[in-house]
Amino acid sequence: MSSPELSLPPIDFSRYPLDGDSAAVAALVGTCRAQLDGRQYCSLPGFIRGDAVEEMARQAVPLLPQANPANSRRNCYLQRAGDPSLGNEHPRNIFNQASYRMIAADLLTEGSHLKRLYHWPPFQQMVAAIVGTGRLFPNEDPLQPVNVICYGDGDQSAWHYDSTNAFTMTLMLQAAEEGGLFELAPNTRAGEGDEDIPYMLEVLKGGRDRVATVSREPGELTIFRGCNSLHRVSPVSGDRLRMMAVFVYEEAPGITGDPEVNQTVYGRTGAER
C-alpha cells in the first residue's frame, strides 16, 4: 500500500509540539503512558486544530452512501451466536443491539487529513512510545488502516471487546446532539480466558459503579485498552451525526485484515466496491 504525501498533518503544534520539542514530547508521552497504565485510557484534547476537524467531518459526509450499514445483535465478543452450555447468565449469552455506518479506508482520498496523520512518522512514534512498543507499522489492508464510524439517531455500539490488538486509538470528528457517550469499564479481563465474569455481568446488566465516561470532544485523540476493557457508545439522538475516526496500527509489517471480519464490518472483503 502506497503512502500519501507526508506533509505536516493539522495537529495543534502549540499544544502538542511533535514537530520539534523533544523534551515536551517526552513529557507528554510520560503523562499519557501513566494514564493508560493506571486507568486503561488516555486522552489528548484539542489534538487536531478545530478548522481541520470540521473539514474532516465535512469530507466524510459525501462518502456515507458508500458506507456499510452495520446493524446486528451481538454479545461482547462480537459474536452473533452464544454458547448454550454456559447458561443464560454468561456474558457469551447476553446480547445487545449495535448499529452504525462504517466508512472504509479506501474511500478516503490519499491526501486527506486523516491519512496524512496516520502515515506521519512522528505521530506513529509518539503512539508507539505511549503504548510501550518499540515500533508501529501501518496496517496493509485496503479497508482497515484508518476509517470513520458514523452514528445517527438511534444508533449505538453495544458493550464489547476489541480485537487482540494491544490498544485502540480514535479521533472524535463530530459529537452527537445528545447521547453518544463513550463508556469504558476498565480491566474487565486480563486477556482472553482470564476474565472477571462477575464484573462483566455487573456492567452488562446496567451497573455503572466502575464505569468511566471518557471525554470525546471534537479534535480529541483517545488511546485505550479495548482488548482488556469492555466499552460502548451509548445511544445517539438528534439529527447531527456522531463521527469518529479509528486508526489501526500493527506491531509487525505486512499485516492485512481477516476477510470475514472485513465482510462483517465493511460489507466487503477487499477494495472492490
Q: What is the pLDDT of residue 273?
A: 61
Nearest to 233 by CA among 145, 166, 150, 147: 150
Nearest to 57 by CA among 148, 137, 152: 148
Spatial distance between the Cα atoms of 150 and 179, rounded to a whole number of angstroms: 13
Q: What is the pLDDT of residue 209?
A: 93
Cα 189 vs. chain centroid, distance in angstroms? 19
Q: What is the pLDDT of residue 4?
A: 44
Spatial distance between the Cα atoms of 110 and 4, rounded to a whole number of angstroms: 5
Q: What is the pLDDT of residue 207?
A: 94
Q: What is the pLDDT of residue 6?
A: 53
Every domain of the chain and the residues it spans: 22-266
22-266, what's its fold?
Jelly Rolls (2.60.120)
Which spans in the chain are helix H? 22-39, 50-60, 113-119, 121-131, 197-204, 259-266
pLDDT in tens, the chain (273 residues): 444 445 889 999 999 999 888 999 999 999 999 999 999 999 999 999 999 999 999 999 999 999 999 888 999 998 888 999 999 999 999 999 999 999 999 999 999 999 999 999 999 999 999 999 989 999 999 999 999 999 999 999 999 998 777 899 999 999 999 999 999 999 999 877 799 999 999 999 999 999 999 999 999 999 999 999 999 999 999 999 999 999 999 999 999 988 877 887 888 888 766
Q: What angle do CA 6, 56, 122 make, to 5 degrees?
A: 30
